[in-house]
Structure formats: C-alpha cells, structure tokens
Structure 1
C-alpha cells in the first residue's frame, strides 16, 4: 500500500512539474543558505585558528602598556623592555622553550635596482622558534653576528620576490637605510597573518644591528615567549608577571604597566566569536525554510481543492481516510525532501566557490547536511499534515458533487 501511495504522489507531482518546482523553491533556498552559511562559518573559524597558530606554538606576547594595542602597537607612556628582560625570563622562569626580544620599524629596502617598503625586525634566532618560522634557504645568525650587531639579514618570501624576482637571494646585498647587509637566509612562506597582514613582508636583522645602526634606540617593543608543551600557561604567565614587576620596580599597589597576551586564549576568543556569528547566520537562513513550508501548505491546499472529485471518488469506492491522508502527506514530504536534496547540491557548489573566493578552507560537515535534509522533510510533515487531513475528512458525496 505504501508503495502504491508513493507512486500516486510522484505521479501527481510529475503532472505539475513547474508548480512543484516553484513550491519547493523556498525549501531549496533555505537548505542551501543554511548549509552554505554554516560551512563558510566553520571554514572561517578554522582559518582564524590556523592564522593564530601561525603566530607561534604556546606563545605568550609581552608588551608594555596597561591596555592591549594592535599588532606591533606600542605601550603609550609605559617604559619599554630591554634585551636583558628576555634573558631574565629565559633563565628564571621554568617551562620556557624560547624567549626572543623584538623591536620593529618600517623602512624602504633596496636591492637589485629595486626598492620595497617592509617591516624591519630586530631580534635573535629565538624569534624563529617562537614564531614557528622555518628557513627556506640559507642559515641562522651566528653567535658572533648577534653579539657584534653584524650587517646580516634574513628576508621573507614577499621581500625576496619583490626585490630579487626569480634570482636566488642568499649571498646578495640588501640596503636598509644607511647600511648594506648580506642576505644570509630566506624564510619559508607563512602567508597572511591573523590581523590581515602579510607575514612574509619582513626583514629580520640581529637586534643589536637594528638598535645601533638603524633606529639608534635600545627600546624593545615585545618579548616573545614560547612555552614548552604541557606547560601550565597560567603559572608561566604569573611567573613572568611577578618577575617583570620586580624588574620594573612596581609597588604592590601599582597596576601592571605591561600586559601578557596568550595567543591560545586569543584564538579561542576569536573562534568563539566566529562560531556565534555562524549560528546566527544559520538561524536567519533557516527562516526561509519556514517560508518554504508555508508555500508547500498553500499549494497542497490548492491541490486538495482541485482534486476534490478525485478524492471523493477514491473514498466512494472504499479508500480509507488514512490512505487519503497518507497520499497527500507523502506528496508533501516528497516535495520538501526533493527540495532538500537540490538545496544540498547547490550548497555544496556554492560553498566550494565562495570558500575559494574568501580564501578559507572548505570543511564538509555531514551532520549539517543530514540535519538540513531531515529538517526539510520534517517541514513537509508539519505543513503537509493539515491539507492531508482536510482531504481525508471530505464527505464523499459532497466531494463528488464538487464542480
């Protein structure tokens, strides 16, 4: 009986293909919108996590100032750090894998008859460890070069491409302001950062080279602290805070004139924000599913009116009310389920295309696709029941008299 009822429902849908398509259009749009929004939201969350993790593994950033500043921002009137602060953290705090002082400036660099404005960073080899940087070609700074503030540098992939094109850069000379330094390494590419900056647009020099020969200042903007795997971040942060308060001679009643940022917490906060936005967008898109369900109910009511004589004839020759109810209910469910399947196909194509345009990973979520399909089928049951019940309760005699 169920198979016969299903065939009757499919035959009825096939007789009015255009109307059936327009009926399920709301379901198609709703399902595709929900899946696309959730998929892109998950991809954006993953992109944020990847970009934050690109800053470094178990990384703490210590900056002067009582309020958080932007990437590379200063600390207003708060005193800056010194290179010895990094040495103190490395020697006195447990659970530390690497510490690197970082000073930054921006300058035009010249090489090979070309010029390019880039970020000039002064630090040590520990900067590579704290930031998960790999050497693409070349070597790290030697201890003698770091102590003497030698005229050597490492460059990012963007700087290499803009200044040297396809030529090897290692061993070439690059001029930063008034000094000419030898390129000893090209850093492996890391791409866009978590704040939208190009991480490969960088020139790294020994921190003493930057301080003595480029900026003329001993200021250190940031202390980068990479913790060992399994280290207690709260304990390490408390130890750094206590040590720096002592070194900066702060009284117990004084507020910290520096802040310690845990990039893992930043990643969790940003990921939480994108997840909330994803849920919100998915909920807004789901409203169109309800609109599609109302459209199905309207068309099914029209269908009941058009087929009143047919219903009356079936009831008159012995069809049971539940059989008529089941026929129209199955018709509504088939319509909404078909709309759900088409919506899933469209959403997959849209998600792949938009993920490529937005440069976020495409993450197929079978749970969301299955839930959207089941929800669309449920819409058919919910909004198809009233028209089906109305059809099943028709009086056969009155139905046969219907013009």
Structure 2
C-alpha cells in the first residue's frame, strides 16, 4: 500500500467522524490561538518600546546630577552640572556627535486673551534638535548668538498652536512666558503621544541662558541635565566611558570616589526593557502552551477510542495484506492532520484576536499607536509544534493499532 493511499484512507476516516474531529481539535485551536495572540502582543510591546526610545533621539545618553555629601548629609539632584560641561563633552569626546544642556521650568504662556501651561518648558542648547532627531516644520531654531545674548526667542510644539494662536501664524508673534516677552521663531514637527499617552508636542523650547537668567533667575552656570547623542549605536558604550572620564576630571573627583553625576545609556534601557517584555512573553506563551498539551491528550484519547472502534476494520485490512507500518501511518497521519487543521484555525483565530486587542489598546490609549505584529517565524514554530503534538500524542494509539493480531482483530465484536 503506497503512502498516498494511506493518506487518503486516513482522510476518509476523518470525514466519517466530523463532529468527533471538530471536538478533538478544539484544544489545539485554543492553544495555538493563545500562543499566537500573546506572542503578537508581546512583540508589539517590544516594538513600541523600541520606537519610543528612538523617538527620544539618536543614540541618546542622559547625564544627570548625582548625590553629593554636605555636612555628612546626602543631597539628591544637587546642581553639579554646568553649561561648560556640555561644551567640553561636545568638543573633547570623539564618540559624541552633539550635546545639549537642559534646564526645566514651568509656568504659563500667554498670547492675547489666551493662555496655556505647556507640559514642558525647557531651556536647551543649539544642538538640541540634532540630539533629539527632531526636525522643524517652520521657522528656524536659535543659535550660539542667541545663547550668548540671552535672546528672548522660542520654538513651540504643535499643541500650542490651537491652544494659543488658533488660525494665526505663530512665527514672529510675541508671547509672554511668566510675564517675559518671548518671540516665536520656529515650530517643531509633530511627534505625537509617547507610549504612556503623554503629548510630546505640548512644549516650548528657549535658549538655556534665557531660561536660567530671565525666567529661573539663577546667577550661576548650573543646568539640570545634559542630553548627548553618540555618533552611532555601536559607539554608545565608548561615548559613555569618555563622558565619565571627562566629568570626573573636570569635577576633581579622584578614582574610587563617588561621582556627583549619573549617566544613563538609553541602549542599556532598551535592552533591559526588551529582556523584560521578552521574558513576560515567553512565560505567558509557556502557560498558553499548556493548553496545547491538553489538546494533545485529547487527541490521544480520541485516537485510542478510534482504534478500539475500528479493530475489525484493522483486522480486515491486515488480512487483505496491509502491513503493520501501513496501519501505524494511517492513524499517525489522522492524528497529525487533526493537529495541523487545529493549528491553522488557531493561527487564524490568534491573528484575529491580536488585531482586536491592538484596536482595543489603541482605542483605550489614544495616540499610543500600538503596532500590530504577526511574526512569520512564530507562526511557523506554532504550526510545527502543532504537528509535533499530533505526532507525539498519536504515536501510542497508532503503534497499538499496528501491533494488533489480525485473527484477534477479526474476532473483535
């Protein structure tokens, strides 16, 4: 008996018991659907995290004030960084493309009869847009001359336009920032919301000297943070080492002493978040995969019942010349076909569930833009696993059928 004849016989047997076959594959369908959905959502989360970190800028490194010790008391976020540190990092660290100081403040922006409190009011340097990889939609950005002269100019995010200017072109208009007149010279391109739903366009940028001297009123050269862009992703670790060495030297901190600054490499953050999302996805996939094992047990039970019911049929086939391996392959193919059909249905169902989950997440968190990801390798692995489940759990019933004695099988009632 040829292999194709064995396949046709197996498929014919499945068609005779459609309801039993449908009930048998439900466990496999649920298992594959659950694994597909979880892997899809997990990969979507990972892609979203990576995208959000990329939206912060190109190969970004943050330098923030660390702890200082005054009178035996630790002071957190003390003003230990200066604008001169930024200039030194940009000029003396070969692996650094650009650097910008950051000074945070808050308050109201007033234009005519309208007022608005942006989520972020930042004093930054001329290279801020290069670090953030954030283009302008209109106008221009401030330069070194504006920094040196404490120019009263600003660049605004897209959110401020409808809140303050409505249909008026903001370029060239003068707003009052905490009662200080500031002229709008540029408009940032739209960024949208980040992964937690915060509006990234709800901000206003000004020269760091303007914010420090005209708004904050700080006489010293201190800044709140430094944002640095490495020349490439591969050079981020080298750039971090160069920045650390330079700042230790500038701040007169001896080897072995605690630094008064902290450096955060966004590549390390991205890797850590990737590990977390990957681990959670793997754990949930293992839990979902248990239902595949349950489905496999169901296939084994049904195949054992099928062997018992078709004992006389097996005896007749053997009497007509069928070999034990023909019987083995017939029942094994039935089991594998059941699993593969369940796998295909589960894959389709899982894809539909993933799409539904993505729509719900994006509807619940407007602006999040959670990506829909269906991994082809994951789909192939799921189908392979489904076939393996069918083969593994179908082997015992198939082997039991192939070992039946033809005489005893023919006598079976």
TM-score by length of 2: 0.87
- Counterpart for residue 367 of structure 1: 377
**Using the alignment, how far apart are the partners of 2:90 and 2:360 within structure 1?**
43
Is the 8 Å Cα contact of residues 32 and 343 (structure 2) preserved in structure 1? yes
Q: What aligned pairs does 1:3-402 form with structure 2 within 5 A after superposition? A: 3-66=4-67, 76=76, 78-111=78-111, 113-118=113-118, 119-165=120-166, 167-193=168-194, 197-217=198-218, 218=220, 219-229=222-232, 232-358=235-361, 359-402=369-412
Q: Deviations over 1:230-250 (max 9, x none)?
A: 884444333322332333333
Please report how far the alpha carbon of residue 291 of structure 1 lies from its aligned counterpart in structure 2 after TM superposition: 1.1
Please report how far the alpha carbon of residue 205 of structure 1 lies from its aligned counterpart in structure 2 after TM superposition: 1.0
Q: Deviations over 1:329-352 (max 9, x none)?
A: 111111001111111222222233
Is the 8 Å Cα contact of residues 236 and 267 (structure 2) preserved in structure 1? no
Is the 8 Å Cα contact of residues 14 and 21 (structure 2) preserved in structure 1? yes
Q: Deviations over 1:180-223 (max 9, x none)?
A: 32222111122334666432221101112211222222541101
User: In structure 2, do the counterparts of structure 1 residues 167 and 16 end up closer, same or farther at CA, with 3 Å as the change threshold?
Assistant: farther
Q: Which moved more, 1:326-335 or 1:302-311?
A: 302-311
User: In structure 2, do the counterparts of structure 1 residues 11 and 112 end up closer, same or farther at CA, with 3 Å as the change threshold?
Assistant: farther
Secondary structure, aligned partner of 1:157: coil
User: In structure 2, do the counterparts of structure 1 residues 77 and 223 end up closer, same or farther at CA, with 3 Å as the change threshold?
Assistant: closer
Please report how far the alpha carbon of residue 77 of structure 1 lies from its aligned counterpart in structure 2 after TM superposition: 5.0
Secondary structure, aligned partner of 2:159: helix
Is the 8 Å Cα contact of residues 178 and 214 (structure 1) preserved in structure 2? no
Please report how far the alpha carbon of residue 256 of structure 1 lies from its aligned counterpart in structure 2 after TM superposition: 0.3
User: In structure 2, do the counterparts of structure 1 residues 80 and 162 end up closer, same or farther at CA, with 3 Å as the change threshold?
Assistant: farther
Please report how far the alpha carbon of residue 259 of structure 1 lies from its aligned counterpart in structure 2 after TM superposition: 1.0
Q: Deviations over 1:362-387 (max 9, x none)?
A: 33422221121111111111111111
User: In structure 2, do the counterparts of structure 1 residues 10 and 176 end up closer, same or farther at CA, with 3 Å as the change threshold?
Assistant: same
Please report how far the alpha carbon of residue 3 of structure 1 lies from its aligned counterpart in structure 2 after TM superposition: 2.3
Secondary structure, aligned partner of 1:169: coil
Q: Deviations over 1:266-318 (max 9, x none)?
A: 22222222222222222222221111111101111122222233223333333
**Using the alignment, how far apart are the partners of 1:338 and 1:235 within structure 2?**
52
**Using the alignment, how far apart are the partners of 1:91 and 1:399 within structure 2?**
89
**Using the alignment, how far apart are the partners of 1:18 and 1:112 within structure 2?**
74
Unaligned runs of 5+ in 2: 69-74, 362-368
Q: Which moved more, 1:193-202 or 1:3-12?
A: 193-202
Secondary structure, aligned partner of 1:107: coil
User: In structure 2, do the counterparts of structure 1 residues 397 and 161 end up closer, same or farther at CA, with 3 Å as the change threshold?
Assistant: farther
User: In structure 2, do the counterparts of structure 1 residues 164 and 2 end up closer, same or farther at CA, with 3 Å as the change threshold?
Assistant: farther
Please report how far the alpha carbon of residue 28 of structure 1 lies from its aligned counterpart in structure 2 after TM superposition: 1.1
User: In structure 2, do the counterparts of structure 1 residues 66 and 53 end up closer, same or farther at CA, with 3 Å as the change threshold?
Assistant: farther
Moved over 4 A (4+): none
How many pairs align?
A: 396
Q: Which moved more, 1:311-320 or 1:4-13?
A: 311-320
**Using the alignment, how far apart are the partners of 1:247 and 1:148 within structure 2?**
26
Is the 8 Å Cα contact of residues 332 and 391 (structure 2) preserved in structure 1? yes
User: In structure 2, do the counterparts of structure 1 residues 337 and 212 end up closer, same or farther at CA, with 3 Å as the change threshold?
Assistant: same
**Using the alignment, how far apart are the partners of 1:221 and 1:195 within structure 2?**
23
User: In structure 2, do the counterparts of structure 1 residues 107 and 21 end up closer, same or farther at CA, with 3 Å as the change threshold?
Assistant: farther
TM-score by length of 1: 0.89
RMSD: 2.5
